[in-house]
Structure 1
Amino acid sequence: MTTDSDLIRRSSRDPRAFAALYDKYSRAVYRYAATRAGESVAEDVMSQTFLVAYEGLDSFDHQWEDARPWLFGIATNLLRRHHRTEARRLKAFAKAAGRGSYDDGADRVAERLDAAAATSNLAGAMRTLSPADRECLLLYAWADLTYEGIALATGVPVGTVRSRLNRARRIVRDAAGLRNTDDKEIEHGRVITPARNA
C-alpha cells in the first residue's frame, strides 16, 4: 500500500503523485477551512495549502506516513491570517443565534429557542478561547487529528496540546453551561457541532 510519505517522495519527480495526494485530502482541507473561516475563504486556503505543500516538499518529515498533520499545519498557518474574520463570524453567529422566525407552530417555539440559546452560548464560549486553544480544539474536533498530529501541525509539544485541549474543554463546558457534559462529547465534536453550520 502506498503511504502519503511515498507519494510525497515521488512528487518531486512525478507531479501525478502529488495530484493523488491532492485528490486524497483536498476536500478535508476545504471542509476544515470552510468551517474555520467560511466558504468564501476555504477555496483559497485549500489551494494555497497545496501550493505551499508542493513548493515545500522537502519540509515533510518522512518519519510520518500520514500527510494530514503536515497539510493541516500549513492550512492552520494560512488560517491564522484570517483570525480576525473568524472572531467576527463567531461574534455575529452568537448574536444571530438568538434571533429567528418562529412562525411555524407554537409547539416548536420552545425547541427552537432552546437550540438558539445553546448555540449562542457555544459560540460565545468558543470566542472566549485563546486563538491557540481554539485552534487546537478545532484541529481535534473538525480535522480529526490525533494529539501527535496536532502537535506536528502546530509545532508545539504533545504535552502542550494536551494542556490546551484540557483548558479548551473546561472553558467551553463552563462558559456554555455544560458542566455535566462528558469530555468525550467535547472531544468528539458533538458539543461544537452546531457551529459547523455557521
Structure 2
Amino acid sequence: METDVDVAPGPDGRHVRTDAELIAGARQAPECFATVFDRHYGRIYAYAARRLGRDLAEDVASETFTVAFSRIGGYDTARPDAAPWLYGIASNLIARHGRAESRRYRALARLAPEEAVNGHDDAVAGRLDAATQRGRLAAALARLSGGERDALLLVAWAGLSQLEVAAALDVAAGTVRSRLHRARQEMRTALGEGDL
C-alpha cells in the first residue's frame, strides 16, 4: 500500500501534504490528523493482525493513533513520512501483548500439517512443506527476543528499511543490524540452513 507523502504534485496538480505537514497542522487544527490516520491505519492494522491476530489488532491499531495524536507536539517534522513513527508506537503496544504473541507463535508451531486426502500429490506435498516451514518459523519467532522480533518483522512485514526501523524503535542503526543478524540466523537455523 502506498502513502501520499511525496511533496510532488498529486494527480490533480495540487501539492500533496506530507505526514509531517499534516501533523504540524494538527497542532492547531486537529482534524488534519485524520488524513494521517486514513493513510496509515490499514497498514498498522495489518501489521498488528499478523503479529497478534485479528482479535487484538483493531485495539492495537486504534490505540496506536490515539497515542500518536497525544504525542504530535513531539513529532520530528524533519521526517516527512510518519510510518516509522507509527510502527514504533504499534511495536511498543504489541510488546504489552508479548504473551499473546508468543502463544500465537507457539500455537502455529504446534499445528500439524494437514493429512493428505484423495491423492493430489504435488499440491498436497507443497501444502505440507509450507505448513512444516510455517511451524518452524513460528517456533523460531517465539524464541527471538522482543527487540529482535520487532526488527525482523518491521523489515519483513512492514517493509521498513533498517534506518526506518532504527527510527521506529528509537535505537541506533547498528543495534538494528545486530538484531536483524541474530534474528536471521535463528530463522536460517529453523529452516535447517545453518550458517549460510
TM-score, normalized by length of structure 1? Answer: 0.85
Determine whether 1:162 maps to 2:164. Answer: no
- The counterpart of 1:20, out of the listed 35, 40, 47, is 35
Determine whether 1:95 maps to 2:110. Answer: yes
Report the secondary structure of 1:94's partner residue.
helix
Alignment of 1:23-172 (within 5 A): 23-96=38-111, 98-107=112-121, 108-172=123-187
- Amino-acid identity (%): 44
After the TM superposition, which of the residue ranges 50-59 and 104-113 deviates more from structure 2?
A: 104-113
Q: Deviations over 1:19-44 (max 9, x none)?
A: 00000000000000001111001111
CA drift of 1:100 comes to 2.2
Distance 2:60 2:131 in 1: 30
Distance 1:153 1:105 in 2: 48
Highest RCO, 1 vs 2 (Cα 8 Å, sep ≥ 6)? 1
Distance 1:102 1:37 in 2: 29
Q: Larger radius of gyration, structure 1 or 2?
A: 2
After the TM superposition, which of the residue ranges 12-21 and 73-82 deviates more from structure 2?
A: 12-21
For structure 2, the residue ranges without an aligned partner over 5 or more in a row are 1-6, 8-16
Q: Deviations over 1:50-103 (max 9, x none)?
A: 11111111121122111011111111111001111010010010111x242422
* C-alpha RMSD of the superposition: 1.6
Distance 2:195 2:189 in 1: 9
Distance 1:17 1:178 in 2: 49
- The counterpart of 2:192, out of the listed 167, 177, 180, is 177
Distance 1:8 1:33 in 2: 23
Whether the 8 Å CA contact 2:189–2:195 is kept in 1: the answer is no
Q: Deviations over 1:92-123 (max 9, x none)?
A: 10111x24242242514433322222222211
Distance 1:24 1:59 in 2: 20
Distance 1:48 1:139 in 2: 18
The match for 1:186 is: none
TM-score, normalized by length of structure 2? Answer: 0.86
After the TM superposition, which of the residue ranges 100-109 and 10-19 deviates more from structure 2?
A: 100-109
Distance 1:90 1:24 in 2: 29
Aligned length: 180
Whether the 8 Å CA contact 2:48–2:61 is kept in 1: the answer is yes
Distance 2:126 2:165 in 1: 36
Report the secondary structure of 1:8's partner residue.
helix
